[in-house]
Amino acid sequence: MPKSLDAAIGRIEAAEALDRPAYVLGKAISRTGQLAGRPGKSVANTLHGRPYGHPVHPLIVAIPIGTWTLAFGLDLLAATGLVRQRSTIRAADVALAAGSIGAVAAITTGLADWLSLNGRDKRVGLVHGTVNIATLALNLWSGRLRRQERRAAGVAVSAVAYATMTVGGYLGGHLVYRRRAAVDHADRSPAPREFTAVATFVDLPENKPHRVAVWDEVARAEIGIALVRQGGEVHAMGARCAHAGGPLDEGWVLNGTLVCPWHGSAFDLRTGQPATGPATCPQPRYEVRLRDGIVELRREQEPGDHVVTSASLAAEPDAVRVSRPDTFPGQDAEAPPPRTATEVLYEHHELMRRMFERMLASSGADAQRHELMRALAAELDIHEVVEDAIFYPAVRRVSEDTEVAYAEHGVLADLLAQTVKFPLDSPEFGAHLTALQAAFLHHAGSEEKSMFKEAGRLSERRLLELGADLERLLEREHTSRARQAFRALKISLLEHV
Ligand code: FES
Protein backbone atom coordinates (compact mmCIF):
# COMPACT_ATOMS: atom_id res chain seq x y z
CA MET A 1 0.00 0.00 0.00
CA PRO A 2 1.43 3.44 -0.88
CA LYS A 3 2.47 5.40 2.22
CA SER A 4 -0.05 8.21 1.61
CA LEU A 5 -2.97 5.72 1.56
CA ASP A 6 -1.63 4.01 4.65
CA ALA A 7 -1.47 7.39 6.41
CA ALA A 8 -4.99 8.33 5.27
CA ILE A 9 -6.48 5.09 6.58
CA GLY A 10 -4.41 5.47 9.76
CA ARG A 11 -6.04 8.85 10.33
CA ILE A 12 -9.51 7.28 10.01
CA GLU A 13 -8.50 4.48 12.38
CA ALA A 14 -7.34 7.02 14.96
CA ALA A 15 -10.34 9.37 14.60
CA GLU A 16 -12.00 9.17 18.02
CA ALA A 17 -14.58 11.72 16.82
CA LEU A 18 -16.20 8.85 14.90
CA ASP A 19 -16.87 6.87 18.07
CA ARG A 20 -19.91 8.81 19.22
CA PRO A 21 -21.87 8.59 15.94
CA ALA A 22 -20.82 4.94 15.63
CA TYR A 23 -22.07 4.26 19.17
CA VAL A 24 -25.41 5.99 18.62
CA LEU A 25 -26.02 4.28 15.26
CA GLY A 26 -24.95 0.89 16.63
CA LYS A 27 -27.25 1.19 19.63
CA ALA A 28 -30.19 2.29 17.46
CA ILE A 29 -29.82 -0.75 15.17
CA SER A 30 -29.25 -3.20 18.05
CA ARG A 31 -32.24 -1.91 19.99
CA THR A 32 -34.44 -2.30 16.92
CA GLY A 33 -33.25 -5.89 16.56
CA GLN A 34 -33.87 -6.59 20.27
CA LEU A 35 -37.40 -5.15 20.06
CA ALA A 36 -38.08 -7.33 17.01
CA GLY A 37 -37.28 -10.38 19.17
CA ARG A 38 -36.85 -13.81 17.57
CA PRO A 39 -37.77 -12.69 14.01
CA GLY A 40 -35.21 -9.90 14.36
CA LYS A 41 -32.56 -12.48 15.29
CA SER A 42 -33.46 -14.62 12.26
CA VAL A 43 -33.15 -11.61 9.97
CA ALA A 44 -29.76 -10.74 11.51
CA ASN A 45 -28.56 -14.34 11.03
CA THR A 46 -29.62 -14.24 7.38
CA LEU A 47 -27.91 -10.89 6.82
CA HIS A 48 -24.67 -12.25 8.30
CA GLY A 49 -24.89 -15.31 6.06
CA ARG A 50 -25.25 -17.97 8.78
CA PRO A 51 -27.67 -20.13 6.72
CA TYR A 52 -25.10 -20.25 3.89
CA GLY A 53 -22.07 -20.94 6.09
CA HIS A 54 -20.32 -17.89 4.61
CA PRO A 55 -20.58 -14.11 5.09
CA VAL A 56 -23.13 -12.89 2.56
CA HIS A 57 -21.91 -9.26 2.29
CA PRO A 58 -18.91 -10.03 0.01
CA LEU A 59 -21.21 -11.97 -2.36
CA ILE A 60 -23.74 -9.15 -2.61
CA VAL A 61 -21.28 -6.29 -3.10
CA ALA A 62 -20.39 -7.91 -6.43
CA ILE A 63 -23.84 -6.82 -7.77
CA PRO A 64 -23.44 -3.01 -7.50
CA ILE A 65 -19.73 -3.13 -8.36
CA GLY A 66 -20.41 -5.23 -11.48
CA THR A 67 -23.48 -3.39 -12.74
CA TRP A 68 -22.17 0.10 -11.99
CA THR A 69 -18.94 -0.81 -13.80
CA LEU A 70 -21.04 -1.94 -16.77
CA ALA A 71 -23.00 1.34 -16.71
CA PHE A 72 -19.77 3.34 -16.45
CA GLY A 73 -18.28 1.44 -19.43
CA LEU A 74 -21.39 1.90 -21.60
CA ASP A 75 -21.55 5.62 -20.70
CA LEU A 76 -17.91 5.94 -21.67
CA LEU A 77 -18.50 4.22 -25.03
CA ALA A 78 -21.47 6.51 -25.71
CA ALA A 79 -19.57 9.64 -24.63
CA THR A 80 -16.66 8.84 -26.95
CA GLY A 81 -19.05 8.18 -29.84
CA LEU A 82 -18.04 4.54 -30.19
CA VAL A 83 -21.62 3.43 -29.51
CA ARG A 84 -24.59 5.39 -30.71
CA GLN A 85 -27.52 2.95 -30.52
CA ARG A 86 -30.32 4.06 -28.26
CA SER A 87 -30.64 0.52 -26.86
CA THR A 88 -27.04 0.50 -25.64
CA ILE A 89 -27.49 3.86 -23.98
CA ARG A 90 -30.66 2.61 -22.29
CA ALA A 91 -28.75 -0.47 -21.13
CA ALA A 92 -26.44 1.83 -19.14
CA ASP A 93 -29.47 3.29 -17.37
CA VAL A 94 -30.85 -0.17 -16.58
CA ALA A 95 -27.46 -1.30 -15.24
CA LEU A 96 -27.29 1.80 -13.07
CA ALA A 97 -30.73 1.08 -11.60
CA ALA A 98 -29.93 -2.61 -11.05
CA GLY A 99 -26.74 -1.62 -9.23
CA SER A 100 -28.72 0.67 -6.94
CA ILE A 101 -31.02 -2.21 -5.94
CA GLY A 102 -27.97 -4.40 -5.26
CA ALA A 103 -26.38 -1.57 -3.27
CA VAL A 104 -29.36 -1.43 -0.90
CA ALA A 105 -28.84 -5.16 -0.17
CA ALA A 106 -25.06 -4.69 0.17
CA ILE A 107 -25.46 -1.78 2.59
CA THR A 108 -28.00 -3.72 4.68
CA THR A 109 -25.77 -6.80 5.00
CA GLY A 110 -22.75 -4.59 5.62
CA LEU A 111 -24.53 -2.80 8.46
CA ALA A 112 -25.30 -6.13 10.10
CA ASP A 113 -21.62 -7.12 9.98
CA TRP A 114 -20.45 -3.64 11.06
CA LEU A 115 -22.33 -3.95 14.36
CA SER A 116 -19.84 -6.52 15.65
CA LEU A 117 -16.71 -4.57 14.69
CA ASN A 118 -14.76 -2.84 17.42
CA GLY A 119 -12.43 0.14 17.86
CA ARG A 120 -10.46 1.21 14.81
CA ASP A 121 -12.29 -1.28 12.56
CA LYS A 122 -15.64 0.20 13.59
CA ARG A 123 -14.40 3.67 12.60
CA VAL A 124 -13.15 2.50 9.19
CA GLY A 125 -16.40 0.55 8.75
CA LEU A 126 -18.42 3.68 9.47
CA VAL A 127 -16.54 5.67 6.82
CA HIS A 128 -16.75 2.72 4.38
CA GLY A 129 -20.53 2.55 4.84
CA THR A 130 -20.97 6.35 4.63
CA VAL A 131 -19.00 6.51 1.38
CA ASN A 132 -21.07 3.66 -0.06
CA ILE A 133 -24.35 5.32 0.98
CA ALA A 134 -23.11 8.53 -0.69
CA THR A 135 -22.32 6.49 -3.81
CA LEU A 136 -25.84 5.06 -3.82
CA ALA A 137 -27.34 8.55 -3.36
CA LEU A 138 -25.28 9.90 -6.27
CA ASN A 139 -26.37 7.05 -8.52
CA LEU A 140 -30.03 7.53 -7.58
CA TRP A 141 -29.64 11.22 -8.42
CA SER A 142 -27.95 10.29 -11.71
CA GLY A 143 -30.89 7.99 -12.56
CA ARG A 144 -33.30 10.83 -11.92
CA LEU A 145 -31.34 13.22 -14.14
CA ARG A 146 -31.29 10.60 -16.92
CA ARG A 147 -35.06 10.13 -16.69
CA GLN A 148 -35.44 13.90 -17.01
CA GLU A 149 -33.45 13.67 -20.28
CA ARG A 150 -30.54 15.57 -18.68
CA ARG A 151 -28.22 12.84 -19.78
CA ALA A 152 -24.88 14.68 -19.72
CA ALA A 153 -25.42 15.78 -16.11
CA GLY A 154 -26.60 12.29 -15.17
CA VAL A 155 -23.51 10.68 -16.66
CA ALA A 156 -21.24 13.19 -14.90
CA VAL A 157 -22.86 12.45 -11.52
CA SER A 158 -22.57 8.66 -11.96
CA ALA A 159 -18.90 9.10 -12.96
CA VAL A 160 -18.31 10.84 -9.61
CA ALA A 161 -20.23 7.99 -7.95
CA TYR A 162 -17.92 5.48 -9.63
CA ALA A 163 -14.94 7.23 -8.06
CA THR A 164 -16.52 7.21 -4.59
CA MET A 165 -17.44 3.52 -5.06
CA THR A 166 -13.75 2.79 -5.62
CA VAL A 167 -12.87 4.57 -2.36
CA GLY A 168 -15.57 2.59 -0.51
CA GLY A 169 -14.30 -0.66 -2.03
CA TYR A 170 -10.75 0.15 -1.01
CA LEU A 171 -11.79 0.69 2.60
CA GLY A 172 -13.79 -2.57 2.54
CA GLY A 173 -10.74 -4.40 1.19
CA HIS A 174 -8.62 -2.89 3.97
CA LEU A 175 -11.06 -4.16 6.59
CA VAL A 176 -11.00 -7.72 5.25
CA TYR A 177 -7.49 -8.25 3.92
CA ARG A 178 -5.49 -6.08 6.31
CA ARG A 179 -7.65 -6.07 9.44
CA ARG A 180 -9.12 -9.57 8.96
CA ALA A 181 -12.72 -8.52 9.59
CA ALA A 182 -15.23 -11.20 8.56
CA VAL A 183 -12.61 -13.88 7.96
CA ASP A 184 -12.44 -17.19 9.83
CA HIS A 185 -10.50 -16.73 13.09
CA ALA A 186 -10.76 -20.29 14.42
CA ASP A 187 -7.61 -22.42 14.85
CA ARG A 188 -8.07 -25.03 12.12
CA SER A 189 -4.94 -26.97 12.97
CA PRO A 190 -5.25 -30.70 12.20
CA ALA A 191 -3.69 -31.48 15.61
CA PRO A 192 -4.05 -33.76 17.39
CA ARG A 193 -4.15 -36.28 14.56
CA GLU A 194 -4.39 -39.23 16.98
CA PHE A 195 -6.28 -39.63 20.26
CA THR A 196 -4.42 -37.63 22.91
CA ALA A 197 -5.11 -37.43 26.66
CA VAL A 198 -6.06 -33.89 27.66
CA ALA A 199 -7.96 -34.01 30.97
CA THR A 200 -9.34 -36.13 33.77
CA PHE A 201 -13.09 -36.63 33.50
CA VAL A 202 -13.85 -35.96 37.16
CA ASP A 203 -12.00 -32.63 37.04
CA LEU A 204 -14.35 -31.24 34.38
CA PRO A 205 -17.10 -28.97 35.71
CA GLU A 206 -20.66 -29.83 34.64
CA ASN A 207 -22.13 -27.60 31.90
CA LYS A 208 -19.27 -25.13 32.00
CA PRO A 209 -16.53 -24.76 29.39
CA HIS A 210 -13.04 -25.82 30.41
CA ARG A 211 -9.95 -24.99 28.37
CA VAL A 212 -7.27 -27.53 27.45
CA ALA A 213 -4.47 -27.15 24.90
CA VAL A 214 -2.57 -29.36 22.48
CA TRP A 215 0.67 -28.57 20.66
CA ASP A 216 0.76 -28.33 16.84
CA GLU A 217 4.33 -29.15 15.85
CA VAL A 218 3.85 -28.06 12.20
CA ALA A 219 2.42 -24.62 13.05
CA ARG A 220 4.59 -24.47 16.21
CA ALA A 221 1.60 -23.15 18.12
CA GLU A 222 -0.61 -24.10 21.04
CA ILE A 223 -4.19 -24.92 20.01
CA GLY A 224 -6.87 -24.17 22.62
CA ILE A 225 -9.87 -26.49 22.92
CA ALA A 226 -13.04 -25.88 24.92
CA LEU A 227 -14.41 -28.98 26.69
CA VAL A 228 -17.96 -29.10 28.01
CA ARG A 229 -19.06 -31.99 30.23
CA GLN A 230 -22.76 -32.84 30.17
CA GLY A 231 -23.66 -35.89 32.25
CA GLY A 232 -21.46 -38.75 31.08
CA GLU A 233 -20.58 -37.00 27.82
CA VAL A 234 -17.83 -34.55 26.90
CA HIS A 235 -18.11 -32.21 23.91
CA ALA A 236 -15.08 -30.49 22.41
CA MET A 237 -14.67 -27.62 19.98
CA GLY A 238 -11.99 -25.07 19.15
CA ALA A 239 -11.65 -22.48 21.91
CA ARG A 240 -10.96 -19.60 19.51
CA CYS A 241 -14.23 -18.28 18.06
CA ALA A 242 -14.46 -18.43 14.26
CA HIS A 243 -16.11 -14.99 14.15
CA ALA A 244 -13.37 -12.77 15.56
CA GLY A 245 -11.26 -14.98 17.81
CA GLY A 246 -13.22 -14.60 21.07
CA PRO A 247 -12.48 -17.04 23.95
CA LEU A 248 -15.24 -19.67 23.83
CA ASP A 249 -13.77 -21.33 26.93
CA GLU A 250 -14.81 -18.17 28.81
CA GLY A 251 -18.36 -18.32 27.39
CA TRP A 252 -21.40 -20.13 28.75
CA VAL A 253 -23.67 -23.04 27.89
CA LEU A 254 -27.24 -22.26 26.81
CA ASN A 255 -29.81 -24.50 25.09
CA GLY A 256 -27.24 -27.05 23.94
CA THR A 257 -24.88 -24.40 22.59
CA LEU A 258 -21.65 -22.79 23.72
CA VAL A 259 -22.01 -19.00 23.55
CA CYS A 260 -19.11 -16.67 22.75
CA PRO A 261 -18.71 -13.85 25.28
CA TRP A 262 -17.61 -11.28 22.67
CA HIS A 263 -20.56 -10.99 20.23
CA GLY A 264 -22.89 -13.79 21.32
CA SER A 265 -22.41 -16.36 18.55
CA ALA A 266 -23.79 -19.68 19.81
CA PHE A 267 -22.26 -22.95 18.58
CA ASP A 268 -24.07 -26.28 18.76
CA LEU A 269 -22.19 -28.47 21.25
CA ARG A 270 -22.69 -31.60 19.14
CA THR A 271 -21.93 -30.26 15.67
CA GLY A 272 -19.98 -27.02 16.21
CA GLN A 273 -22.35 -25.30 13.75
CA PRO A 274 -23.37 -21.71 14.59
CA ALA A 275 -26.98 -21.68 15.78
CA THR A 276 -26.78 -17.88 16.08
CA GLY A 277 -24.45 -15.41 14.37
CA PRO A 278 -22.62 -13.21 13.75
CA ALA A 279 -20.39 -16.28 13.19
CA THR A 280 -21.22 -18.00 9.92
CA CYS A 281 -18.92 -21.03 9.85
CA PRO A 282 -18.63 -23.97 12.27
CA GLN A 283 -16.06 -24.33 15.04
CA PRO A 284 -13.33 -26.98 14.65
CA ARG A 285 -14.64 -30.21 16.20
CA TYR A 286 -12.87 -33.01 18.08
CA GLU A 287 -13.81 -36.65 18.59
CA VAL A 288 -13.81 -37.45 22.29
CA ARG A 289 -13.38 -40.78 24.04
CA LEU A 290 -13.10 -41.71 27.73
CA ARG A 291 -10.53 -44.28 28.83
CA ASP A 292 -10.15 -45.13 32.50
CA GLY A 293 -11.48 -41.73 33.48
CA ILE A 294 -9.14 -39.90 31.11
CA VAL A 295 -10.55 -37.66 28.38
CA GLU A 296 -8.83 -38.27 25.03
CA LEU A 297 -9.55 -36.39 21.85
CA ARG A 298 -8.50 -36.11 18.25
CA ARG A 299 -9.34 -33.55 15.60
CA GLU A 300 -12.29 -34.32 13.32
CA GLN A 301 -10.68 -33.52 9.98
CA GLU A 302 -12.62 -31.27 7.59
CA PRO A 303 -13.45 -31.85 3.92
CA GLY A 304 -10.46 -30.92 1.80
CA ASP A 305 -7.91 -31.35 4.62
CA HIS A 306 -4.69 -33.09 3.65
CA VAL A 307 -3.77 -34.85 6.86
CA VAL A 308 -1.77 -38.02 7.41
CA THR A 309 -3.10 -40.12 10.28
CA SER A 310 -2.61 -43.71 11.39
CA ALA A 311 -5.97 -44.50 9.76
CA SER A 312 -4.96 -42.98 6.41
CA LEU A 313 -1.61 -44.79 6.59
CA ALA A 314 -3.36 -48.10 7.30
CA ALA A 315 -5.37 -47.61 4.10
CA GLU A 316 -2.23 -46.75 2.10
CA PRO A 317 -1.31 -49.71 -0.15
CA ASP A 318 2.34 -48.65 -0.33
CA ALA A 319 2.82 -48.18 3.39
CA VAL A 320 5.49 -50.18 5.22
CA ARG A 321 4.68 -53.84 4.91
CA VAL A 322 7.42 -55.19 2.68
CA SER A 323 11.09 -55.07 3.49
CA ARG A 324 13.97 -54.50 1.02
CA PRO A 325 13.72 -57.24 -1.67
CA ASP A 326 16.70 -59.50 -2.35
CA THR A 327 16.45 -58.75 -6.06
CA PHE A 328 14.98 -55.76 -7.73
CA PRO A 329 13.05 -56.07 -11.03
CA GLY A 330 15.34 -55.30 -13.96
CA GLN A 331 18.46 -55.32 -11.77
CA ASP A 332 21.64 -56.12 -13.68
CA ALA A 333 24.09 -58.31 -11.71
CA GLU A 334 26.90 -55.91 -12.68
CA ALA A 335 24.94 -52.76 -11.93
CA PRO A 336 25.37 -50.87 -8.66
CA PRO A 337 22.79 -51.76 -6.02
CA PRO A 338 19.51 -49.94 -6.46
CA ARG A 339 18.98 -46.83 -4.36
CA THR A 340 15.87 -45.52 -2.68
CA ALA A 341 14.23 -42.27 -3.78
CA THR A 342 15.51 -40.41 -0.75
CA GLU A 343 19.08 -41.63 -1.39
CA VAL A 344 18.88 -40.38 -4.98
CA LEU A 345 17.46 -37.01 -3.95
CA TYR A 346 19.87 -36.57 -1.07
CA GLU A 347 22.73 -37.03 -3.55
CA HIS A 348 21.16 -34.44 -5.85
CA HIS A 349 20.85 -32.01 -2.94
CA GLU A 350 24.55 -32.53 -2.19
CA LEU A 351 25.47 -31.89 -5.82
CA MET A 352 23.66 -28.56 -5.74
CA ARG A 353 25.10 -27.58 -2.37
CA ARG A 354 28.56 -28.04 -3.91
CA MET A 355 27.60 -26.05 -7.02
CA PHE A 356 26.38 -23.15 -4.89
CA GLU A 357 29.62 -23.21 -2.88
CA ARG A 358 31.74 -23.14 -6.05
CA MET A 359 29.69 -20.32 -7.50
CA LEU A 360 29.88 -18.23 -4.35
CA ALA A 361 33.62 -18.91 -3.95
CA SER A 362 34.30 -17.55 -7.46
CA SER A 363 34.04 -13.96 -8.69
CA GLY A 364 34.05 -11.93 -11.88
CA ALA A 365 32.06 -12.36 -15.06
CA ASP A 366 34.23 -14.61 -17.20
CA ALA A 367 32.87 -17.31 -19.50
CA GLN A 368 33.71 -20.11 -17.07
CA ARG A 369 31.69 -18.53 -14.27
CA HIS A 370 28.86 -17.89 -16.68
CA GLU A 371 28.86 -21.57 -17.64
CA LEU A 372 28.86 -22.59 -13.99
CA MET A 373 25.86 -20.36 -13.29
CA ARG A 374 24.01 -21.80 -16.27
CA ALA A 375 24.77 -25.31 -15.04
CA LEU A 376 23.48 -24.40 -11.58
CA ALA A 377 20.31 -22.89 -13.09
CA ALA A 378 19.78 -26.03 -15.18
CA GLU A 379 20.32 -28.31 -12.17
CA LEU A 380 17.80 -26.33 -10.10
CA ASP A 381 15.29 -26.69 -12.93
CA ILE A 382 15.96 -30.44 -13.18
CA HIS A 383 15.56 -30.80 -9.42
CA GLU A 384 12.13 -29.17 -9.59
CA VAL A 385 11.07 -31.36 -12.52
CA VAL A 386 12.02 -34.68 -10.92
CA GLU A 387 10.59 -33.93 -7.48
CA ASP A 388 7.35 -32.47 -8.89
CA ALA A 389 6.86 -35.31 -11.37
CA ILE A 390 7.77 -38.36 -9.29
CA PHE A 391 8.58 -37.81 -5.66
CA TYR A 392 5.92 -35.44 -4.36
CA PRO A 393 2.93 -37.24 -5.93
CA ALA A 394 4.20 -40.52 -4.42
CA VAL A 395 4.84 -39.27 -0.88
CA ARG A 396 1.82 -36.99 -0.69
CA ARG A 397 -0.23 -39.76 0.95
CA VAL A 398 2.27 -40.25 3.75
CA SER A 399 3.58 -36.70 4.26
CA GLU A 400 1.84 -33.35 4.74
CA ASP A 401 4.96 -31.45 3.63
CA THR A 402 4.43 -31.62 -0.13
CA GLU A 403 2.22 -28.52 -0.43
CA VAL A 404 4.85 -26.29 1.14
CA ALA A 405 7.55 -28.02 -0.92
CA TYR A 406 5.70 -27.21 -4.19
CA ALA A 407 5.44 -23.58 -3.02
CA GLU A 408 9.17 -23.50 -2.21
CA HIS A 409 9.95 -24.69 -5.74
CA GLY A 410 7.99 -21.64 -6.92
CA VAL A 411 10.09 -19.36 -4.69
CA LEU A 412 13.33 -20.91 -5.99
CA ALA A 413 12.21 -20.48 -9.62
CA ASP A 414 11.26 -16.81 -9.01
CA LEU A 415 14.57 -16.09 -7.27
CA LEU A 416 16.53 -17.81 -10.03
CA ALA A 417 14.70 -15.75 -12.66
CA GLN A 418 15.65 -12.54 -10.83
CA THR A 419 19.26 -13.62 -10.18
CA VAL A 420 20.26 -14.51 -13.75
CA LYS A 421 19.17 -11.10 -15.04
CA PHE A 422 22.02 -9.29 -13.24
CA PRO A 423 25.60 -9.09 -14.58
CA LEU A 424 27.70 -11.73 -12.83
CA ASP A 425 30.10 -9.15 -11.37
CA SER A 426 27.37 -6.85 -9.98
CA PRO A 427 26.63 -6.53 -6.25
CA GLU A 428 22.95 -7.29 -7.05
CA PHE A 429 23.93 -10.64 -8.52
CA GLY A 430 25.95 -11.51 -5.40
CA ALA A 431 23.07 -10.57 -3.09
CA HIS A 432 20.53 -12.55 -5.11
CA LEU A 433 22.81 -15.58 -5.42
CA THR A 434 23.26 -15.61 -1.64
CA ALA A 435 19.48 -15.39 -1.20
CA LEU A 436 18.99 -18.20 -3.74
CA GLN A 437 21.46 -20.38 -1.85
CA ALA A 438 19.64 -19.66 1.44
CA ALA A 439 16.31 -20.56 -0.16
CA PHE A 440 17.75 -23.82 -1.52
CA LEU A 441 19.44 -24.77 1.76
CA HIS A 442 16.19 -24.19 3.60
CA HIS A 443 14.24 -26.24 1.05
CA ALA A 444 16.68 -29.15 0.95
CA GLY A 445 17.24 -29.10 4.71
CA SER A 446 13.56 -29.19 5.58
CA GLU A 447 12.94 -32.01 3.10
CA GLU A 448 15.73 -34.06 4.60
CA LYS A 449 14.61 -33.34 8.15
CA SER A 450 10.95 -34.11 7.67
CA MET A 451 9.63 -35.27 4.28
CA PHE A 452 12.41 -37.80 3.61
CA LYS A 453 11.81 -39.36 7.05
CA GLU A 454 8.07 -39.52 6.42
CA ALA A 455 8.73 -41.09 3.02
CA GLY A 456 10.03 -44.03 5.09
CA ARG A 457 6.38 -44.84 5.76
CA LEU A 458 6.29 -46.23 2.21
CA SER A 459 7.49 -49.77 1.75
CA GLU A 460 11.17 -50.14 0.91
CA ARG A 461 10.22 -51.79 -2.37
CA ARG A 462 8.18 -48.72 -3.29
CA LEU A 463 11.04 -46.39 -2.35
CA LEU A 464 13.38 -48.45 -4.55
CA GLU A 465 10.94 -48.27 -7.46
CA LEU A 466 10.71 -44.52 -7.00
CA GLY A 467 14.50 -44.31 -6.78
CA ALA A 468 14.79 -46.13 -10.12
CA ASP A 469 12.17 -43.81 -11.67
CA LEU A 470 14.03 -40.76 -10.37
CA GLU A 471 17.37 -41.99 -11.71
CA ARG A 472 15.83 -42.65 -15.12
CA LEU A 473 14.29 -39.18 -15.25
CA LEU A 474 17.49 -37.52 -14.03
CA GLU A 475 19.41 -39.38 -16.71
CA ARG A 476 16.93 -38.29 -19.38
CA GLU A 477 16.95 -34.67 -18.23
CA HIS A 478 20.76 -34.63 -18.31
CA THR A 479 21.27 -36.39 -21.64
CA SER A 480 18.27 -35.68 -23.88
CA ARG A 481 19.31 -33.13 -26.51
CA ALA A 482 15.75 -31.84 -26.79
CA ARG A 483 15.51 -31.31 -23.03
CA GLN A 484 18.92 -29.64 -22.93
CA ALA A 485 18.01 -27.31 -25.80
CA PHE A 486 14.68 -26.45 -24.22
CA ARG A 487 16.35 -25.72 -20.88
CA ALA A 488 19.08 -23.60 -22.49
CA LEU A 489 16.43 -21.57 -24.30
CA LYS A 490 14.51 -21.08 -21.08
CA ILE A 491 17.60 -19.86 -19.17
CA SER A 492 18.53 -17.60 -22.06
CA LEU A 493 15.07 -16.03 -22.01
CA LEU A 494 15.30 -15.56 -18.24
CA GLU A 495 18.66 -13.82 -18.68
CA HIS A 496 17.60 -11.42 -21.40
CA VAL A 497 13.86 -10.74 -21.19
S1 FES B 1 -15.69 -13.35 18.57
FE2 FES B 1 -17.51 -12.51 17.83
S3 FES B 1 -18.98 -13.98 18.39
FE4 FES B 1 -17.14 -14.80 19.06
Domain containing residue 238: CATH number = 2.102.10.10
Ligand 1 pocket mutation pick from 241, 248, 250, 273 by most atoms within 8 angstroms of CB: 241
- Do 414 and 347 sit in the same domain of this protein? yes
Count other C-beta atoms under 10 Å from residue 408's C-beta.
19
- Do 13 and 151 sit in the same domain of this protein? yes
Task: Tell me the pLDDT band of 89, cut-offs 50, 70 and 90.
Answer: confident
Q: Residue 332: its pLDDT value, please?
A: 60
Q: Residue 319: its pLDDT value, please?
A: 59
Q: How many domains does the chain have?
A: 3
Q: For residue range 246-289, list pLDDT tens digits in order.
A: 999 999 999 999 999 999 999 999 999 999 889 999 999 999 99
- Do 93 and 230 sit in the same domain of this protein? no
- Do 257 and 348 sit in the same domain of this protein? no
Asked if residue 261 belongs to a domain, the reply is: yes
Residue 318 pLDDT > 80, yes or no? no
Cα–Cα dist 181/58, whole Å: 12
Which of the two residues, 149 and 82, has the higher pLDDT score? 149
- Do 74 and 45 sit in the same domain of this protein? yes
Asked if residue 308 belongs to a domain, the reply is: no
Boundary of a domain, candidates 178, 211, 234 = 178
Q: For residue range 343-369, list pLDDT tens digits in order.
A: 999 999 999 999 999 999 998 889 899
Query: Which has the minimum average pLDDT: 40-54, 142-156, 204-218, 229-243?
Result: 40-54
- Do 23 and 169 sit in the same domain of this protein? yes
Q: Residue 464: its pLDDT value, please?
A: 94
* Ligand 1 near 258 CB (within 6 A): no
3-state class of 423 per DSSP?
coil
Please state, for a pLDDT cut of 70, what percent of the chain lies above it.
96
- Do 41 and 167 sit in the same domain of this protein? yes
- Do 284 and 348 sit in the same domain of this protein? no
Residue 474 pLDDT > 90, yes or no? yes
Count other C-beta atoms under 10 Å from residue 24's C-beta.
10
Asked if residue 165 belongs to a domain, the reply is: yes
Close Cβ partners of 432 (under 8 Å, ≥ 6 residues apart): 415, 418, 419, 422
Amino acid at 179: R
* Ligand 1 near 162 CB (within 6 A): no
- Do 135 and 226 sit in the same domain of this protein? no
Boundary of a domain, candidates 282, 299, 316 = 299
Q: What is the whole-number distance in angstroms between the Cα of residue 473 and the centre of ligand 1?
A: 53
Cα–Cα dist 492/485, whole Å: 10
Q: Residue 322: its pLDDT value, please?
A: 46
Cα–Cα dist 48/30, whole Å: 14
Asked if residue 313 belongs to a domain, the reply is: no
Which of the two residues, 318 and 137, has the higher pLDDT score? 137
Asked if residue 443 belongs to a domain, the reply is: yes
Q: What is the whole-number distance in angstroms between the Cα of residue 230 and the centre of ligand 1?
A: 23
Task: Tell me the pLDDT band of 151, cut-offs 50, 70 and 90.
Answer: confident
Cα–Cα dist 29/129, whole Å: 14
Which long-range contacts link 356-362 to residues 24+ away (Cβ below 8 Å)? Answer: 356/433, 356/436, 356/437, 356/440, 356/441, 359/433, 360/433, 360/434, 360/437
- Do 7 and 132 sit in the same domain of this protein? yes
Q: Is the pTM of this model over 0.85?
A: no
Asked if residue 188 belongs to a domain, the reply is: no
Average of per-residue pLDDT values in the chain: 90
Q: What is the whole-number distance in angstroms between the Cα of residue 243 and the centre of ligand 1?
A: 5
Domain that holds residue 155: 3-178
Task: Tell me the pLDDT band of 132, cut-offs 50, 70 and 90.
Answer: very high
Asked if residue 38 belongs to a domain, the reply is: yes
- Going by the DSSP 8-state scheme, the letter that residue 328 receives in this structure is -
- Do 69 and 14 sit in the same domain of this protein? yes
- Do 17 and 163 sit in the same domain of this protein? yes
Q: What is the mean pLDDT of residues 405-416?
A: 94
Asked if residue 96 belongs to a domain, the reply is: yes
Ligand 1 pocket mutation pick from 262, 276, 283 by most atoms within 8 angstroms of CB: 262
Boundary of a domain, candidates 151, 178, 205 = 178
